Structure 1
Amino acid sequence: MSNLFRPAAAGPARPLAIARWLECVAVLVVMIVVVGGITRLTESGLSITEWNVVSGILPPLTQGAWEAEFAKYRATAEFRMESGPAGMDLAAFQFIFFWEWFHRILGRVIGVAFLLPALVFALRRAVPAGYGWRLAAMFALICGQGALGWYMVSSGVGNTDLTDVSHFRLSAHLLTALFLLAGLVWTARDLRQLAKDAGARPARLTAGTAVVVAVLFVQVLLGAWVAGLNAGHAAYDWPLMNGRLVPEVDWSQGAVWTVTHDPFLLQFLHRWWAFVAVAALVWLARRVRPVARFDSLAVNIAFGTMVLLGIATVMSGVSLWVAAAHQLVGALTVVATVRAMHTLGWANRGAATPAQA
């Protein structure tokens, strides 16, 4: 890989240009996370029953094509079991079809927006030594996301008993997207530092920030399970749940099944683990404040807004746009957290403070 990107006769490296490109891709990833959330909230994910990589780029363009797509959707368990006595008309189907189609189109846009510039930078030998494998790994993640997305959808389309996609596959899809987002931001920060100092080495993850990652992983996982199981509708009051501090939970199917499937317990865990995440992020913000005030402020604003939107999501009865805003700020919290972690990684190794850009 290093021979491909930086041979002996390599051209001038372009770390700043590559950093800016990766930041643009990161913006697209934030967008697709939000659109994916709207797709789940509107239960649009099973509206397209096939995965056509090329022909699926265009939506149906004629009345007959729309009727054909609608007929495929009417054959799914979701339509048969959840459309209600009045059923669903074509206009309602077109609404949910749009969100799933837009979600898939954004995935293709991200793939192209990453691959084409990567090839240009590689052919011009402009990728700094040691970064080629990172770009290759991120492109593999993008491709894997497409496959994982269809694997998730197929769990609902191909099952006669389920009316939703598997919440396990949904969580894997979301966590992979956020891992890609973190990789884009971290690598862009490394490259910005390299643009300032040709001898700069990549930042390292510290033990403390690794704990923050673990805490946030649990919170995002719980949030994905809440979304996948429609557990946000288990209770609409806060801080109590249906008038109780601790909800009634049926443990008759075993502890493992209950912890991974019971909507009341999962909403409860997601609510209160959030404050463990807040404690971890407060620690991160305080640690990074002497080094980079902006990073500290960004973390505080992000998690504060996210908590408020989480409460608003519950109390609004899972309003579409409030819940979508909650997911948007969740992705931005990942960005702010990664920036702060990267800054601490530099500070703890005695390096100069990364460029605050």
Structure 2
Amino acid sequence: MNLKSTLKWSAYCSAIIMFAVVLMGALVTKTDSGLGCGREWPLCNGKFIPEHAVSALIEYSHRAVSGLITILLLITAILVWLVDKRRDAKWFVGSAIFFTLLQAVLGAMAVIWPQSPVILASHFGLSLLAFACTLLLAMLYTRRAQAADAAANRDEPAVPPPALFRSAVWVITLYSLGVIYLGAFVRHTKSTGGCLGWPLCNGELIPELSGATGIVFTHRIAALVLLVCLIVLFVMARRHFPEGHPVYGAAKASLILVVLQIVSGAFVTWTIGVSGWGLLAALIHTVLVSGLFGILSYLCVTTLRLQPERFYNKQRSTA
């Protein structure tokens, strides 16, 4: 296996394992296993190998996989610098390492010192940013991306998206991160039960906006606004790009994912207090939100890629 092939598989494995880190982080939060190893880091209750308590195993497994992905990303970064001269690959792997280390430090601080829900919710957001960077890196080495690069190197004209569409993609992606943060804040403040029932909240269209009810209802409204934004984005993509275009496909996928995410949010509400199902609902919700943010991040990068005078043209000229 040559270095280029090794780099490709290293990038693929990084994205898969980082996705596992995000999912395991949600499992730690949902099962209240954050202190399964006590207030110690990196040891677990004074031991290198933890005792066979479920909470300790969940927390320690999350730490172990986080350590594994850090090592793999460092190896991937070395391979990128040795094999691939493109600037975007360096940005993606460098950003993935930065966000991974930052979320690890934040996680360690949350174990050693009590942290507010505001800080704890940021931990999930950083993990999601790290996942998006590894996903974007892996996508660089897919056949479709390589075909697009070949077309660009033949100087085939790219159709740049309208400025309004580019701005909408970036604003919606940033807004989605805020919605995701609100969802993590709901979990860390244990406010999930603030709105019983769906789509009504405690039997009311607009409930009293205080305490846990206000937090959950705000998240629901934010998710509804995100749905409207993605409908508008899909209509814009359909107007400017043919069905086979990557931008059209990504806009369509993001709309489907946000609908599924809202449905899964309803599933989370309906399974409150139901043993086993509540955990499954939360993990499904995490899978969908990770996919949604990954697709939106891809859209952001693609809007840059379709501007020949910008980032991607420069990175090709320096290759």
TM-score (norm 2): 0.78
Counterpart of 1:282 in structure 2 is 231
Unaligned runs of 5+ in 2: 311-319
Listed as ranges, the matches of 1:306-321 within 5 Å are 306-317=261-272, 319-321=278-280
Q: 1:117 aligns with which of 76, 80, 92?
A: 76
Deviation at 1:301, TM superposition (A): 2.5
Matched, 1:59 2:49: yes
**Structure with greater helix percent:** 2
Amino acid at match of 1:178: L
Task: Give distance in 2, aligned partners of 1:219 and 1:207.
Answer: 18
What's the secondary structure of 1:206's corresponding residue? helix
Deviation at 1:57, TM superposition (A): 9.0
The C-alpha deviation readout for 1:65-110, integer Å capped at 9, x for no partner, is: x4xxxxxxxxxxxxxxxxxxxxxxxx7xx11112111111110111
Deviation at 1:127, TM superposition (A): 2.6
Q: Does the aligned pair in 2 maintain the 1:302–1:336 contact within 8 Å?
A: no
Unaligned runs of 5+ in 1: 1-11, 61-65, 67-90, 157-164, 251-261, 352-357
TM-score (norm 1): 0.70
Deviation at 1:28, TM superposition (A): 1.5
User: Which has the higher Rg, Structure 1 or Structure 2?
Assistant: 1
Matched, 1:296 2:251: yes
Task: Give distance in 2, aligned partners of 1:56 and 1:177.
Answer: 26
Percent of aligned pairs with the same amino acid: 20
Counterpart of 1:169 in structure 2 is 119
The C-alpha deviation readout for 1:20-68, integer Å capped at 9, x for no partner, is: 53333122222111111111111000111211279989533xxxxx4xx
Counterpart of 1:26 in structure 2 is 15
Q: Does the aligned pair in 2 maintain the 1:175–1:221 contact within 8 Å?
A: yes
Q: Does the aligned pair in 1 maintain the 2:268–2:282 contact within 8 Å?
A: yes
Matched, 1:45 2:34: yes
Counterpart of 2:182 in structure 1 is 222
Change (3 A) 1:214 1:335: closer
Counterpart of 1:144 in structure 2 is 102
What RMSD over aligned residues (CA atoms) do the two structures have, in Å? 3.2
Q: 2:111 aligns with which of 128, 142, 153?
A: 153
Task: Give distance in 2, aligned partners of 1:140 and 1:288.
Answer: 32
Counterpart of 1:326 in structure 2 is 285
Listed as ranges, the matches of 1:62-77 within 5 Å are 66=51
Deviation at 1:154, TM superposition (A): 2.9
Runs (4+) of structure 1 exceeding 6 A deviation are 53-57
Q: Does the aligned pair in 1 maintain the 2:33–2:55 contact within 8 Å?
A: yes
Counterpart of 2:260 in structure 1 is 305
Counterpart of 2:59 in structure 1 is 100
Task: Give distance in 2, aligned partners of 1:57 and 1:31.
Answer: 24
Listed as ranges, the matches of 1:71-90 within 5 Å are none
Q: Does the aligned pair in 2 maintain the 1:215–1:280 contact within 8 Å?
A: no
Task: Give distance in 2, aligned partners of 1:53 and 1:294.
Answer: 45
